[in-house]
Amino acid sequence: MIKYTLICEETHEFEIWFSKSSDYDEQAPKGLIACPYCGSTKVEKGIMAPNVSTSRKKETIAEKQKAAMQMMNKAAAKIRKEIEDNCDYVGGNFADEARAIHYGEKPERAIYGEASAKDAADLHDEGVEIAPLPDMLSPKGKRKAN
């Protein structure tokens, strides 16, 4: 089913349902579609209702995506703050610091910083527990350069 908004020669607007879009093209020239207000069979297509609802739907999806992104950014900001407040930033010394803590050379504490992929793999092999920090969760101004 497809809904058309039609306009007659007297500019009356009315809605009419067709089973398929070609119905209008077949029926209108034969004078089978009449304005319910004045009975005129000289009708033209107005704005199609399905198009209107489609664009409205798109708008809603865009709004929902925007809201979801804002929620994610808010959550990420909270995590970034947690990390900043509770962890020490060790920059490029991450691998050395993580090792020192792991082997008991330094007191246990939460740290974050930069490590190369090789460092990360080596640490993992040595049994040092590390977790990659996604860019959006890295505290401001201390994000990975790559």
Q: Which is nearer to Zn ion, 38 or 71 (CB)?
A: 38
Burial class (CB in 10 A: 0-12, 13-18, 19+), 89: middle
Q: Which is nearer to Zn ion, 35 or 115 (CB)?
A: 35
Q: How far apart are CA 52 and CA 54, in angstroms?
A: 5
- What Å distances lie between residue 108 and 95, 102, 103, 117, 131, CA to CA? 14, 8, 10, 23, 16
Q: Which is nearer to Zn ion, 34 or 77 (CB)?
A: 34
Return the closest-CA partner of residue 135 out of 110, 108, 114, 106: 114
**Smallest distance, Zn ion to C-beta of residue 39, A:** 7
Tally of helices (H runs) and strands (E runs) in the chain: 4, 5
**Smallest distance, Zn ion to C-beta of residue 33, A:** 11
**Smallest distance, Zn ion to C-beta of residue 70, A:** 48
**Smallest distance, Zn ion to C-beta of residue 28, A:** 14
Residues forming the site for Zn ion (CB under 5 A): 8, 10, 12, 35, 37-38, 40
Q: Which is nearer to Zn ion, 5 or 93 (CB)?
A: 5
Cα of first residue to Cα of last residue in the chain, in angstroms, is: 54
Q: Which is nearer to Zn ion, 35 or 133 (CB)?
A: 35
**Smallest distance, Zn ion to C-beta of residue 24, A:** 16
